[in-house]
Amino acid sequence: MSVLERNNVHQLGNGSTTMMFAHGFGCDQNMWRLIVPAFAENYKIILFDHVGAGLSDLNAYDPVKYNELDGYAHDILEIAEALQLKEIIFVGHSVSAMMGIMAAAQSPGLFKALILVSPSPSYINDGDYIGGFSRIEIDELLASLDQNHLGWSMTMAPMIMANADRAELSEELTNSFCRTDPTIARQFARATFLTDSRSILKTCHTPTLILQCSEDIIAPVEVGAFIHQQMDNSKLTILEATGHCPHLSAPAETISAIKEFL
């Protein structure tokens, strides 16, 4: 099976410059549907599913390769190579933002810019660093996922989305979580919440936009400020949007911030 089939890659748009969109934990490429139309007229759009998510080839899931985020970053580079892409504008949500930084560090000339939507290099508090959770809280979160994937999904989705007056958003995220194979979800969650990528930030010099929501239980404002301080060629934009998924809850504001940066 080709890389493009493995990752369920789709291409659309008319521009000569490429924008590649990477979804976060428990999601798939459909999560970008409110953002992509604003760029398809002027950019070539690349959408894909991480292996184990969406309509990717589940048979290609390798628990050794995907035990760490580097495995997913390698897939990003493989997709770019297969499509002969150059000067990519990479848009990554949540954990995929860190995958983009890892890919850019490995192949710095490949990326024209990085757009990080609700990123976090580490979710665990460490001294002066505020990641949002203690190690005990992360362990409890992962144990809950291990014990009851469905219950975890129904509990966490509303907290992550954080738009209580818009139940349809939480329902969509819950359904997306529930569609993920539980075994793969457990391993991806560990790769997401236990990885500490802070040291890689200073090694990436690609122009970067950090989109931080004003209130986000998963990636608090201190995280965005930390990333901005560590990356020497970055811009930090604090959105009025709340929650961890502004591309779903506040697409117009997200689009506007991206266009201003580009």
For the annotated catalytic residues, the residue numbers are 94, 216, 244
What does the block give as tokens for 2? 């080709």
DSSP 83: T
Amino acid (one-letter) located at 224: G
CA angle 124, 32, 59 (to 5 degrees): 75
What is the rounded CA–CA span in Å between residue 75 and residue 78?
5
Q: Given its phi and psi angles, is residue 61 left (phi above 0), alpha (psi -120 to 50 degrees) or beta?
A: beta
What is the rounded CA–CA span in Å between residue 66 and residue 87?
26
What is the rounded CA–CA span in Å between residue 19 and residue 40?
9
**Under 8 Å CB-to-CB from 229, ≥6 apart: which residues?**
none
What does the block give as tokens for 29? 């490429």
Is residue 184 within 8 A of residue 61, CB to CB? The reply is yes
Amino acid (one-letter) located at 168: E
User: Could you tell me how many helices (H) and strands (E) the chain has, helices first?
Assistant: 10, 7
Is residue 91 within 8 A of residue 39, CB to CB? The reply is no
